[in-house]
Amino acid sequence: MTAVTRPGSLEEVLAALAELEPDIAARAAEDEPAAETFEEIKRVGLASFVIPRAYGGGGATLTEAAAVIRALAAADAGAALVLTMHFIHSTRLLSAPVRSDATEELVRRLAETGGLVNFASSEGFSGAPSRGGPVGTRAVRQADGSWLLNGHKRYVTGSIGLDWLLVSATVLDASDGSEDPVVRAFMVPSDAPGLRIEPTWDTFGLRGSASHDVLLEDVAVPAEAIAEAYDAGQPAEATRAFQIWWSLLLASIHLGIAEASRQAAHDFAAGPRNDGHPGIRAEQARTQEHAARLELALLQARTLLEDALRRGDAASGPDETVRATATKLLVHGHATDAVDHAGRLVGGASIWNRSPLGRHFRDLRAALFNPPNEDVVIGSVGRFVLGLDEKGLWR
């Protein structure tokens, strides 16, 4: 096994990432998932950066985690989405007030190995879990107390680079006296017999996220493989913290993409004019206008995100949850404007496949569909400001 660097300060982590960024960006330009990128993320300790120090990780705050995601997204938005999901779920694992030894051991193992984990919840025909879709995957208790999992998961971000999956399944077990179906999450190693990846992720954006389907056919896990943090009835504070991390780390991806577009536009502006006049493109009024509009969009996105991060590190009340989801929506809009002006600045050259601006545009468009979607956010904000709902988006 390749030695994993123990995460240091934010400055050290960003410096390590900066050394990797040219290679990561070069692989991202190929528009295909790159297993090498995931291995490098693990090797330099990025994956363990947010795990609490008591478990062997870096103990990063939300603001520090967002800085790493933002920097990685500028190189490869798909890889940043994978790391975002890992950051969210590796911390959520410890959010339950009562945790099993197995859960705590998994977190320690993730810190030690730099392993990646994600939640496998979406399914093909049952609708999005965030909108209340039923879970078709089944977990059947065996005579010895272990569980047998069968199901088909979609949109499993990072599939080819994950070491562990948290698989949601409807429990078929009458021993607890419950007549209603119960959904629980099971900790499953990615190399478990019966688990296989089906390469279905053929999209025009976020291709590097490798969000393929995962099939489970009689996958056996021990009795203690349940991740308690995903059970219904968790404390409101823990659920709100999860929502805040989710929304603001996704917003950090959007901002990172926009900042990469800014760099591409500035590089183009520094080149020689092509209108028959001496000098560089930056001297042209049209270039200056789009550079200014790009900068104004970025200023709005940065200001919103940085303010929300400061608040998110300090509190997790219902108002901050709604603010975080609204921030995600707004930052995406401003980031999209920034990428649009970068493309207008560059002009026709931006539509060539060799231009990174096309990929940045497609990645942001694909990111639009990471939940919570716009209609959900608008509805939640409206209910909250009118005093109708303080429960947040994931009830």
pLDDT digits (tens, 9 = 90+) for 222-272: 999 999 999 998 888 888 999 999 999 999 999 999 999 999 999 999 999
Higher pLDDT, 4 or 383: 383
- Where does the chain have alpha helices with state H? 10-28, 35-43, 62-75, 77-92, 101-113, 236-269, 285-314, 318-346, 356-367, 374-385
In the prediction, which pLDDT does 394 show? 42
Q: Show Cβ contacts of residue 147 under 8 Å, excluding neighbours closer than 6 positions.
A: 139, 140, 141, 186, 220, 221, 222, 223, 225
Q: Helices 356-367 and 236-269 sit at what angle, rounded to 10 degrees?
A: 160
Residue ranges per domain, the chain? Answer: 10-116, 118-230, 236-385
pLDDT in tens, 355-392: 999 999 999 999 999 999 999 999 999 999 998 875 54
In the prediction, which pLDDT does 395 show? 39
User: Which amino acid does the sequence have at 231?
Assistant: D
SS3 242: helix
Chain mean position to CA 356: 21
Confidence class for position 314, pLDDT limits 50, 70, 90? confident
The mean pLDDT value for 108-128 works out to 89
> pTM to 2 decimals?
0.95
In the prediction, which pLDDT does 315 show? 74
- Mean pLDDT computed over every residue of the chain: 93
SS3 392: coil
- pLDDT over 60 (residue 74): yes
**Phi-psi group of 152: left, alpha or beta (phi > 0 → left; psi -120 to 50 → alpha; rest → beta):** beta
**How many contiguous H segments (helices) and E segments (strands) does the chain have?**
10, 7
Please determine, looking at this structure, whether the domain spanning 118-230 carries the CATH number 2.40.110.10: yes
pLDDT in tens, 275-284: 889 999 999 9
Q: Show Cβ contacts of residue 391 under 8 Å, excluding neighbours closer than 6 positions.
A: 318
In the prediction, which pLDDT does 391 show? 53
Q: Which two tokens stand for residue 384?
A: 């909250």
Higher pLDDT, 138 or 178: 138
Q: Which of 153-167, 178-192, 279-293 has the lowest mean pLDDT?
A: 178-192
- pLDDT over 70 (residue 132): no
Answer for the pair 164, 221: CB distance below 8 angstroms, yes or no.
Answer: no
Higher pLDDT, 131 or 58: 58
Q: Which of 9-13, 127-131, 297-301 has the lowest mean pLDDT?
A: 127-131
- CATH label, 10-116, candidates 2.60.260.20, 3.10.290.10, 1.10.10.10, 1.10.540.10: 1.10.540.10
Architecture of the domain delimited by 236-385: Up-down Bundle (1.20)
- pLDDT over 90 (residue 56): yes
The mean pLDDT value for 180-194 works out to 95
